[in-house]
Amino acid sequence: MTQVKEFFNDVKVEMRRVSWPGRKEVYGTTIVVIAAVFFFGIYLGLVDLVLKVGVTKIFHLFR
């Protein structure tokens, strides 16, 4: 049981040493992530659409 207590005390000490980002940095990073997800979603949706149309046309050629 003492090992468990020691482990959690060590975790507590290490968490105090962590350099946490400020509110401004978190906000900026969040905006970048949301924008990246949005643009990659649109990009992948367009790629999917182009591939779907292309494969459909190829299948219609051999019908």
Residues 3-62 pLDDT 10s: 999 999 999 999 999 999 999 999 999 999 999 999 999 999 999 999 999 999 999 998
pTM (global) more than 0.85: no
pLDDT at 1: 82
Q: What is the DSSP string of 10-62?
A: HHHHHHHHS-PPPHHHHHHHHHHHHHHHHHHHHHHHHHHHHHHHHHHHHHHHT
Q: Which long-range contacts (CB under 8 A, 24 or more apart) does 31-39 make?
A: none
d(CA 50, CA 63): 20
